[in-house]
A and B are shown apart, each in its own frame.
Chain A
Amino acid sequence: DAGVIQSPRHEVTEMGQEVTLRCKPISGHNSLFWYRQTMMRGLELLIYFNNNVPIDDSGMPEDRFSAKMPNASFSTLKIQPSEPRDSAVYFCASSSLTLLDRNSNQPQHFGDGTRLSIL
């Protein structure tokens, strides 16, 4: 079975440019998560969706960041304009978690990430 697929694997761009990261969750999963990993802050949750609806975006650092999930098989994380401090590895994960779950008994499965460098 295909896992979570992220693209691109690496992105290098100049500050001020728009960056779009893409994610295809595991088929049948209805929850999708975006994380960011840096040496300083570790792995942080940015936003998560359930049934294509954003549920918690409290981890999104600022208005330059936006995420969408137009359908169950695709999500994007956009940074506009990008800044050098946005350089990090961005991970997408998916699970079968539903909002009705009082407890999180469904593991998240991660993609291989996008390594983003803003010059």
Chain B
Amino acid sequence: DAKTTQPPSMDCAEGRAANLPCNHSTISGNEYVYWYRQIHSQGPQYIIHGLKNNETNEMASLIITEDRKSSTLILPHATLRDTAVYYCIVVRRALTFGSGTRLQVQP
């Protein structure tokens, strides 16, 4: 599975969009990009995933560059409840979690 690189932490103002970047320069053509988040003391929560095209669901949008070497998770209107560690994972079958990005949403 390809390795991912994420900033260790980010801040975002409540109500503003949170843009979380992820680099995955060694991704293979058939590997999906997944995003999970983990709120303190809870299990990881699935957010969104994609292969080549941009994706959107009720939680977030996923923007994948044309060369697939990086992606951005967008939370359009961050709330205090979005404060969590966000994991970008490139996976073929099983998930390998890195250190993630600790997002702190500020009031």
Q: Write the residues of chain A forming the contact surface with B, with a CB cutoff of 8 angstroms.
A: 4, 33, 42-45, 48, 56, 91, 93, 97, 101-105, 107-113
Q: Write the residues of chain B forming the contact surface with A, with a CB cutoff of 8 angstroms.
A: 30-32, 34, 42-46, 49, 51, 87, 91-99
Given the known inter-chain contacts A42-B97, A45-B94, please indicate yes or no for A110 contacting B32, CB distance below 8 A: no
- Chain B contact residues: helix, strand, loop or mixed: loop
Name the A residues within 8 Å of B51 (CB-CB): 103, 105
Given contacts A107-B46, A109-B46, 12 further A-B contacts (CB under 8 A): A44-B97, A93-B43, A93-B44, A103-B32, A103-B92, A104-B32, A105-B32, A105-B49, A107-B49, A110-B45, A111-B43, A113-B43
Shortest C-beta distance, A99 to chain B (Å), equals 9
Nearest 5 A-B pairs (CB), nearest first? Answer: A110-B43, A43-B97, A107-B46, A103-B30, A110-B44
Name the B residues within 8 Å of A45 (CB-CB): 94-96
Tell whether, in the assembled complex, residue A42 and residue B99 are in contact, meaning their CB atoms are under 8 Å apart.
Answer: yes
**Chain B residue at minimum C-beta to C-beta distance from A56:** B94
Name the A residues within 8 Å of B91 (CB-CB): 104
Complex CA gap A108/B43 in Å reads 11
**Chain A residue at minimum C-beta to C-beta distance from B46:** A107
Q: Which of A4, A33, A97, A102 contacts B30 (CB 8 A)?
A: A102
Can you list 21 A-B contacts (CB < 8 A)? A33-B95, A42-B97, A42-B98, A42-B99, A43-B87, A45-B94, A48-B94, A56-B94, A93-B95, A97-B93, A103-B31, A103-B51, A103-B92, A104-B34, A104-B91, A104-B94, A105-B51, A108-B46, A110-B46, A111-B43, A113-B42
